[in-house]
Amino acid sequence: MKLTGRAVLITGASGGIGRCLARELARRGARLALAGRNETELAGLARGLSAEGGSALALPLDLSEPASHTALVDGAEAALGAIDVLVNNAGLSRFGPFSEEDEAAIRRLMEVNLTAPMLLTRAALPGMLRRRSGQIVNIGSGFGSIAFPNFAVYSTTKFALRGFSEALRRELGGSGVAVTYVAPRTTDTAMNTKAALEFVEQTGAAVDTPESVAQVIADAIENGRPEVYIGWPERLFVRVNAVAPRLVDRALAGKTRKRRQIARNPA
Ligand SMILES: NC(=O)c1ccc[n+]([C@@H]2O[C@H](COP(=O)([O-])OP(=O)(O)OC[C@H]3O[C@@H](n4cnc5c(N)ncnc54)[C@H](OP(=O)(O)O)[C@@H]3O)[C@@H](O)[C@H]2O)c1
């Protein structure tokens, strides 16, 4: 789908990847509704994009609130008209031993990373199906294919988001509505605590810039890609994990002692 003139709703637009994605989509001519909780950040971004000749409005809200999903889709449609693309990008991460995880955090991650994308999709879909045109874009993670120790809750939400994307893509085949799942690898944003970054780096993994991730997402939208996994050798590991998960168990087990130390002292 060419992005020129298209109406795009992006959640998590106040965050690292979301902000860069908003800039990239505006550069490609899309009209944007920007969602997140941080009103000041969103308003500043919308002003900046509009000043550069783009079209963007801020729709601040908390996606863990029960009625927020339909309110957001209704608000975006009232301002932009029919939504062509919904980008479910908002997300939260947690790093640490699962035995010490608290209930509220588990519920919050499930709510923001999984329930919110499903409810936003449900709210946006009827219009897209009527028009026989639209695209749902879910931002997953490499951890949605390779379950990572000390990221148990986060991995669970991203595995489920990948499953949701696949089921929905199959269900919507031939309807004119596309489903795209993009799985970034570790990206340099505020989402990662110092301890999480230290842990990921000691596994030898690379860290991407949010600008480069935003370009990949924008390309995936324009090219209607079903699934994109960012990074090599991550793409290979995803395949190895699918066919020989015990190999990945062994590779990750080698890092166990150091990982426990970092997770217990998340400075
Ligand atoms: N960074 C990585 O290493 C990495 C790797 C793979 C995948 N990803 C995925 O990429 C996406 C974007 O992550 P990021 O790195 O850009 O993280 P980020 O900088 O922390 O941004 C997260 C965004 O989610 C929004 N958000 C969180 N809770 C919310 C809530 N309750 N209601 C509404 N909005 C909420 C935040 O809005 P406010 O700040 O305004 O609350 C913020 O805009 C996420 O889905 C993440 O899982 C990230």
| CATH at 103 | 3.40.50.720
Q: pLDDT band at residue 56, thresholds of 50, 70 and 90?
A: very high
92 CB within 6 A, ligand 1: yes
Scan for tokens 């944007």, then name that residue.
Answer: 32
Confidence of residue 40 (pLDDT cuts 50, 70, 90): very high
Question: What pLDDT was estimated at residue 4?
Answer: 97
Mean pLDDT, residues 241-251: 90
Number of domains in the chain: 1
Cis ω for the linkage preceding 233 (within 30 of 0): yes
The residue written with tokens 């990847």 in the block is 17
| Ligand 1 pocket, residue 139 CB under 6 Å | yes
Strand order from edge to edge, sheet including 177-183: 55-60, 31-36, 7-10, 85-88, 134-139, 177-183, 227-229
Residue 254 lies in a domain: yes
Residue 253, in any domain of the structure: yes
Which atom of ligand 1 is closest in space to residue 38's alpha carbon? 40
Asked whether the CA dihedral 190, 195, 199, 202 is positive or negative, the reply is: positive
Mean pLDDT of 176-187: 97
Query: Is there a domain that residue 12 lies in?
Result: yes
CA 66, 16, 208, 20 torsion-angle sign: positive
Can you give the pTM of this predicted structure? 0.95
Q: Which residue's C-alpha comes closest to atom 44 of ligand 1? A: 91
Q: How far is the CA of 246 from the centre of ligand 1 (A)?
A: 31
3 state SS for the chain: CCCCCCEEEECCCCCHHHHHHHHHHHHCCCEEEEEECCHHHHHHHHHHHHHCCCEEEEEECCCCCCCHHHHHHHHHHHHHCCCCEEEECCCCCCCCCHHHCCHHHHHHHHHHHHHHHHHHHHHHHHHHHHHCCEEEEEECCHHHCCCCCCCHHHHHHHHHHHHHHHHHHHHCCCCCEEEEEEECCCECCCCCCHHHHHHHHHCCCCCECHHHHHHHHHHHHHCCCCEEECCCCHHHHHHHHHHCHHHHHHHHHCCHHHHHHHHHCCC
**Which whole number is the average pLDDT over 81-101?**
96
Q: Is 2 within a domain?
A: no
Atom of ligand 1 nearest to the CA of 139: 45
Ligand 1 centroid to Cα of residue 179, in Å, is 20
Give the tens place of pLDDT for each residue, 187-234.
999 999 888 788 777 777 889 999 999 999 999 999 999 999 999 988
Q: Which residues, in sequence order, are bridge partners of residue 199?
A: none
Residue 1 counted as domain residue: no
Q: 231 CB under 6 A from ligand 1?
A: no
Q: Give pLDDT, residue 261.
A: 65
Of 203 and 44, more confident: 44
Which pLDDT value is given to residue 263?
Answer: 62
> Is the confidence at residue 88, as pLDDT, over 60?
yes
Question: What pLDDT is recorded for position 83?
Answer: 98
CA atoms within 13 A on the CB side of 94: 24
How many CB atoms neighbour CB 251 within 10 A? 14
Q: Is residue 103 part of a domain?
A: yes
pLDDT at 262 over 70: no
Active site residues: 154
Q: Using a 6 Å cutoff on CB, does residue 214 contact ligand 1?
A: no
Decide: 64 in ligand 1 pocket, CB within 6 A.
Answer: yes
If you average pLDDT over residues 105-133, what whole number do you get? Answer: 98
Average pLDDT over residues 57-78: 97
Q: Which domain holds residue 91?
A: 7-264
Q: How far is the CA of 201 from the centre of ligand 1 (A)?
A: 20
Q: Is the pLDDT of residue 111 over 90?
A: yes
Residue 81: band (very low, low, confident or very high) from pLDDT cuts 50, 70, 90 = very high
Q: What is the mean pLDDT of the chain?
A: 94
Residue 73: inside a domain: yes
pLDDT mean over 169-178: 98
Q: 130-173: per-residue pLDDT in tens?
A: 999 999 999 999 999 999 889 999 999 999 999 999 999 999 99
In a domain, 243, yes or no: yes
